[in-house]
Amino acid sequence: MDKAPDLLSTINFPSDLRKLKESDLKQVCDELRQFIIDLVSEKGGHFGGSLGVVELTVALHYIFNTPYDQLVWDTGHQAYGHKILTGRRDVFYTNRVYKGISGFPNRKESEYDTFGVGHTSTSISAALGMATASHYKGENDRQHIAVIGDGAMTAGLAFEGLNNAGISKSNILVVLNDNCMSIDPNVGALRAYLTDMTISPGYNKMKDEVWKLLGKISKFGPNAQDIASKIENAVKTSLLHQSNLFESLNFRYFGPVDGHDVTRLAHILKELKNIPGPKILHTLTMKGKGYKFSEGGDQTLWHSPGTFDKNTGELIKGENKGPQPPKYQDVFGHTMVELAEKNSKIMGITPAMPSGCSLNIMMKAMPDRAFDVGIAEQHAVTFSAGLATQGLIPYCNIYSTFMQRAYDQVIHDVAIQNIKVVFCLDRGGVAGSDGPTHHGNYDLAFFRCVPNMIVSAPMDELELRNLMYTAQLEKVVSPISIRYPRGNGVVIDWKQPFKEIEIGKGRKIKEGKDVAIVTIGHPGNFAVTACKALAEEGIDAAHYDLRFVKPIDTAMLHEVFTKFDKVITVEDGCLMGGMGSAVLEFMADNNYSAKVVRLGIPDKVVEHGTQMELYKECGYSPDDITDTVRGLMGKKKKSVSSLFISL
């Protein structure tokens, strides 16, 4: 039998897809899924989510007139197929690579990316805004579709959007991509509710019959459909022994349907185009669908597995170079268990990132003292505050970028009341290939202005352990943040006895006489490297590790400005309002005069790349530090970081 001609290579845009016969869609899905497997296995990236929505992606672009019809993907982990079908197939090998295309929908990249995403639960609100604008402009034929996962549906913002959309007459379709997963398995009452709807045999039999009825009577006009819909809703309520949550919010509910039957999905979406008002289509999918190793394996692992052998499913690990320093997140996870074994008051909280932040280690060891509260950062903070009012010591681990979503709760529910919550901020600073929505650039700045907050950043794994230990001591009575970066530390022998760190007290890493380098957090290790290189050139640089940006070590800064007229600050955070700004404020307030150069993240959106590529782009890599010192000392710069270009 002759092999069927390749179809994916003929699809440059969705308009090409819409020229195909419906019978071709299954082949398109097979080719699209294989394309994703081929590329991600070699280049890495988000895997399971995109495989899970291949059929849904093809059906949406086949039925709807994108980009005129507005398609909004929630979060964006699952949008690889969308990108490949919308003009980026031939450059997809640059996905998440420095200067390449983004791993998430990005408005600057394509008109098909209607809304930039990366954080969860924004799609319904964005699509409703677009639908309302279309109604105002008289574009009544324009469709607006939000694709959101069951994990993202648990966040408050999703319900705010649903609540608002339900009272509008806007033409919006919410596609609920239900796969029981976000990055880790989903939790909470909504998960149980959706499962009840999915597995009810009576309801599913009725649902199939109603779909057939709708198809038969739709030719008689909207009144007949309204009657059928009311009958369906009444039966749903009876069979599920409860009212339908979504229809209680004035959404027309359809489903659940098989999210991997592309032909049926196309038929259903075509029907829904002709039904006005807010609608929700509940699709059932499997993360990693179509690749046997992800279907039968650990779905958390296959969310973003790195590179792997596509034929065997074996993950490709880096060359074994002997013992390596651990990841900061794993130091956090193991240290939590150690501390909790010594102090029965310690509790662990994370909003849907137990594996990402390694709280899963404590959840396994002490399931009654570690909580995954779902994609709910605001709730995580206030829940932690509630625990603290009862004498417990909550360690609330939230990625720095996601802490932005709970800023009001930090101020209103924690800081104003001076409630002791320990905020462990993972992924502080540039986070690498996930790009601007995931960089943790702002926490040093936005926390140091909050009354009662202690703001710290460890330079290495030992410092992280000791700050975590210090935070639970009775003498610490205020909220404290401990931020650390993504990736590995620098200390192999990290599991050493705990030592208390005096709050607000920095440390001198190296004496010097020519210039002072003041750092906070992990970039202090860049300064160590720079100091060694400078010493070989006869430049004697002193190095100070502040540890705390609030309260700041005033005694140390008095020493710095008394001894040095050339000072460099280095931080893995935004320059505006960050540690360097705090040092300048101290200098001005105390009438010192010195040449101060601040290195850190400039006032711009930093795109994706490896962390070192981004350190160089932002100008605070080890080479940049040495170059800055050379410049201050009147010597010629040697490095080329400012001209760095990635392949």
Q: Are the C-beta atoms of residues 100 and 86 closer than 8 Å to each other?
A: no
Cα distances from 482 to residues 436, 452, 551, in angstroms, run: 21, 14, 13
Instruction: Provide DSSP, 437-463.
Output: TT-B-SHHHHHHTSTT-EEE--SSHHH
Consecutive H or E run containing 464: helix 461-471
* Cβ–Cβ under 8 Å, residues 9 and 29: no
630: annotated active-site residue: no
Question: Read out DSSP for 126-174?
Answer: HHHHHHHHHHHTT-TT--EEEEEETTGGGSHHHHHHHHHHHTS----EE
Q: Which of 436, 399, 360 is nearest to 76 (CA)?
A: 436
Q: How far is CA 142 from CA 62, 65, 134, 275, in A?
A: 15, 9, 7, 13
Residues 161, 644: Cα–Cα separation, whole Å: 43
Q: Taking Cα atoms as reference points, which of 149, 142, 128, 10 lies closest to residue 67?
A: 142
Q: Which DSSP letter does residue 378 get?
A: H
Beta carbons of 597 and 628 less than 8 angstroms apart = yes
Give me the residue label for tokens 């605070």.
620
3-state helix, strand, coil in the chain (%, to 5): 45, 15, 40
Distance CA 313, CA 311 (A): 6
Describe the strand order of the beta sheet including 393-399 as a list of residue ranges: 370-372, 346-350, 393-399, 422-426, 480-483, 454-456, 548-550
Cα 77 from Cα 596, distance rounded (Å)? 41
Dihedral angle computed from the Cα positions of residues 352, 353, 354 and 358, in that order, rounded to the nearest 10 degrees: -170
Question: What number of CA atoms fall less than 13 Å from residue 39's CA on the CB side?
Answer: 25
Instruction: Give the position of tokens 């352990």.
Output: 465
The Cα–Cα gap between 498 and 31 comes to 54
DSSP classification of residue 71: E
Give the integer Cα–Cα distance in Å for 568 and 531.
Answer: 12
Task: Output Rg (C-alpha) for the chain, integer angstroms.
Answer: 27
Q: Assess whether 264 carries a catalytic annotation.
A: no
Which of the following is catalytic: 287, 289, 420, 566? 287
Could you tell me if 561 and 583 are in contact, meaning their C-beta atoms sit under 8 angstroms apart?
no
- Helix ranges (DSSP H) in 493-597: 524-536, 554-563, 579-589
- Identified catalytic residue from 83, 405, 427, 616: 405
Rounded-to-integer distance, Cα 456 and Cα 471, Å = 11
| Identity of the amino acid at 283 | T
Residue 596, token pair as written in the block: 């101060």
**Strand, coil or helix: what is 433?**
coil
Q: Is 377 a catalytic residue?
A: yes
Segment holding 599, helix H or strand E:
strand 595-601
Instruction: Catalytic residue, from 377, 461, 463, 617: name it.
Output: 377
Catalytic residue positions, numbered: 287, 377, 405
